[in-house]
Structure 1
Amino acid sequence: MKKQTKKQIRPKQTQQRPGKQSKLAPVAETRPKQYKAEGKLAGKAALITGGDSGIGKAVALLFAKEGADICIAYLSEQKDANDTKAEVEAFGRSCYLIKGDLGKEAHCKKVIDKAAKQFGKIDIVVNNAGLHWEADAIEDITTEQLMKTFHSDFFSYFWITKYAMQYLKKGSSIINTASVTAYRGSPKLIDYSATKGAIISFTRALAANLTPKGIRVNAVAPGPIWTPLISSSFDKKKVSEFGSDAPMKRAGMPNEVAPAFLFLACGDSSYISGQVIHPNGGEIING
């Protein structure tokens, strides 16, 4: 057996972007933790972008367990999407899949139109899709990469929300996936960190704008979470050590983040808007 480095906490691995759930070692834990469901989202319809794997999948499964029907918008990983659909349906809920590039405004509009037609309504929007690419210096970030990152990781949030507004009503909830990088930055993810900072400001401004309509807007800013995005974005050494520098000395699992989304989606958080929850393994970021 090869001796592991001090920080190595999982096998070295890498895969092509955007990554596949089934190829992770260990596989990311997305199943809801064991507890008795309370029907907190009974009768609700939720749209989750990037819901085929990782955090989005964990959110989809937890929402389904609590009674919501699920629409998942995803980029390209058909097997992951089909697996998630089957797991949602195992909770007795409907799951509708929409494949395509959310970095294109026309597709975002199509997603909303299809989701609303499928379920007759949209109660919850979870903007979660995202990609990132490492760069050693700002000079290495091309305009093409910058625009692709913003189209995928921020503009899609704006467009999905904009076109969903005609269906959202009093009591609806919008939840945006931000990141710890919005608060402390990341030296090799400059453009990605910038999108996450934009998401925080977007969340706060939109929350203030929609308060009179009774629509709440909040965000979740995860720290290091073990998802296919990680193994498809970094080199083998960094993947093997991912999360070891968190206060808890490990990366979190998607099903450790999903409860934050459930809390913000249901009536338990009825007096909360414009806020951010930080499941990040104990890092204090004062935001």
Structure 2
Amino acid sequence: MQEAELPGLEAELDPKPEWQPRYPGSGRLEGKVAVVTGGDSGIGRAVAVLFAREGANVVISYLEEDTDAEATAEMVEEEGGKAVIIAGDIGERDHCREVIDLAIRKFGQIDILVNNAGEQHPDKEITDISDKQLKRTFQTNVYGMFYMVQAAMPHLKSGATIINCTSVTMYKGADELLDYSATKGAITAFTRSLSQNLVEKGIRVNGVAPGPIWTPLNPCGGASEEKLEHFGESTPMGRPGQPNEVAPCFLFLACEDSSYMSGQVLHPNGGVIVGS
């Protein structure tokens, strides 16, 4: 099976995902600095802009989608925040160090790390998953999170937060996303374990497990044409979600509203009931 070309440009999607924050800011992230991987589009874009509305400055990490990243940076600045963008592969340890070094050079601190970047490829048969694809999916989705946390740790102080993006597929499975679902299971276990590892340092670690959300990840390789035609219809709400319906979960976990939560996962998934 020929693997889909990734990443995809949000600027080319029709209809466009809804990233705009839905309510006025209240200063919940005033003076904070956030690093958001995959921050150029989709959920990452919605998170970056919402964080800026709440007072944060944002470092936007992305693979190569310059047009989307530059647009997101402009949106952040329109909300009153400062933004810097950096392209590269988070599956490479050295690049993750570069992202964190940039954050420290520009802003002098890191308070929030959002590990959102990911990739997925549909395959109907497990035998269709190439060695290259399997390694690539784990390198981006799992290795990238380890590398980002390792690079950020020397700069994270008590009160800092880490938020990892897992998926509903970790809980209910996905017959055409075997390698992707496996990485999301690893991310959930990583989130729970890291929360215990860092709790005594005063650093909280939580996760968000979105359901089917309309982002470039899906039409640009994350779903087969057949599934894309009915994307999100299987949820109780009967539709896909929008990035701005997910971003508030990240905001809640990033700010003091969730000060008594660590090792937990929130589920913006259209009403799908899953185990904890």
TM-score band w.r.t. shorter chain: over 0.9
| Corresponding residue SS for 2:60 | strand
* Structure 1 partner of 2:63: 75
Following TM superposition, by how much is the alpha carbon of 1:155 offset from its aligned partner in structure 2, in angstroms?
A: 0.6
| Corresponding residue SS for 2:163 | strand
Following TM superposition, by how much is the alpha carbon of 1:277 offset from its aligned partner in structure 2, in angstroms?
A: 0.1
- Identity fraction in percent: 53
1:29 aligns with 2:21: no
* Structure 1 partner of 2:274: 285
Following TM superposition, by how much is the alpha carbon of 1:203 offset from its aligned partner in structure 2, in angstroms?
A: 0.4
The TM-score, its normalising length taken from structure 2, stands at: 0.96
d(CA) in 2 for partners of 1:25, 1:16: 18
Matches within 5 A, 1:1-287: 16-33=5-22, 35-233=23-221, 234-287=223-276
Contact preservation (8 Å) 2:24, 2:53: no
In the TM superposition, what whole-angstrom CA distance separates every residue of 1:222-269 from its partner, at most 9, and x where no partner exists? 000000111101343422211011110000000000000000000000
d(CA) in 1 for partners of 2:241, 2:51: 19
Q: How many residues align?
A: 272
d(CA) in 1 for partners of 2:131, 2:225: 27
Following TM superposition, by how much is the alpha carbon of 1:137 offset from its aligned partner in structure 2, in angstroms?
A: 1.6
| Corresponding residue SS for 1:176 | strand
Q: Which residue identity is paired with 2:124?
A: D
Q: Which residue identity is paired with 1:214?
A: G
d(CA) in 1 for partners of 2:20, 2:112: 20
C-alpha RMSD over aligned residues: 1.1
Task: Go from structure 1 to structure 2 and tell me whether the alpha carbon gap of 1:129 and 1:115 turns closer, same or farther (over 3 Å shift).
Answer: same
The TM-score, its normalising length taken from structure 1, stands at: 0.93
Contact preservation (8 Å) 2:122, 2:224: no
Contact preservation (8 Å) 2:27, 2:54: yes
In the TM superposition, what whole-angstrom CA distance separates every residue of 1:38-60 from its partner, at most 9, and x where no partner exists? 10000000000000000000000
Answer with 142-151 or 66-75: which moved more. Answer: 142-151
d(CA) in 1 for partners of 2:225, 2:129: 22
Q: Which residue identity is paired with 2:90?
A: L
Q: Which residue identity is paired with 1:18?
A: P
Following TM superposition, by how much is the alpha carbon of 1:16 offset from its aligned partner in structure 2, in angstroms?
A: 4.6
Following TM superposition, by how much is the alpha carbon of 1:271 offset from its aligned partner in structure 2, in angstroms?
A: 0.2
| Corresponding residue SS for 1:250 | coil
Contact preservation (8 Å) 2:39, 2:45: yes
